[in-house]
Amino acid sequence: MGLPGSGKGTQGKILSEKLMIPHLSTGDIFRKMASADNEDSRLLSDYMISGKLVPSDLVNKIVRKVLLSGDYNDGCILDGYPRNLKQAEYFIENIDTQISSVFFEVGDEIVVKRIMGRYSCQSCGAIYNKYFDSLKIDGVCDNCRSTEFTSRSDDDEKTVLARIKEYKTETLPLVEYYKRKGRFFTVNAGGTKEEVIKEISLIAKKI
């Protein structure tokens, strides 16, 4: 769990490698289900195409179906689910498994800069940040030497602040919820990538 831009996606993938279990984001789950041919998949596809928020009841049903499919019997790193208390309670009641929670704690100012400052190479997809990274040669990708870069159109300040507000309303209450459940870990996500990796490595040994 963590604010948008807290680094949980990047670090979740690193943690999955250390624990040798899959990293599974909500987007991965939705894409996996949307390609199937059934009523839930068609309904999910309609929501995704229209850009509307997928209702918790449908999200819960789809996540449960994927997690119990047999592909994740040895566990997985869940990224982006549960998003709220309703989903968390459903997960506890309907999926019989042991849960460890990792909270990426970071200030609003840092995540705003991380999100608004990021841009990527159009050729190889390498990601940079104008506030935290510096190219070896100005205007030239370190990886492929391309000079063409792009940034996400939804990474404007108004959108970012709205996402932060939504997170604090919907997802932040999960921190106290999972603290009461035990096996809860906090990461100082405001540090450098290397510092966070070091913390993640220590957590991997305890899970």
Show which residues are catalytic.
Answer: 8, 83, 118, 152, 163
| Residue 90 to residue 174: CA distance in whole angstroms | 13
Written as one string, the DSSP assignment of 145-207 is ----EE--TT-SHHHHHHHHHHHHHHTTHHHHHHHTTS-EEEEETTS-HHHHHHHHHHHHHH-
Instruction: List the structure tokens of 62.
Output: 């789809």
- Contact 30/45 with Cβ under 8 angstroms? no
- Contact 140/117 with Cβ under 8 angstroms? no
Among residues 148, 205, 200, 206, the alpha carbon closest in space to that of 8 is found at 200
| Residue 80 to residue 27: CA distance in whole angstroms | 8
- Contact 206/185 with Cβ under 8 angstroms? yes
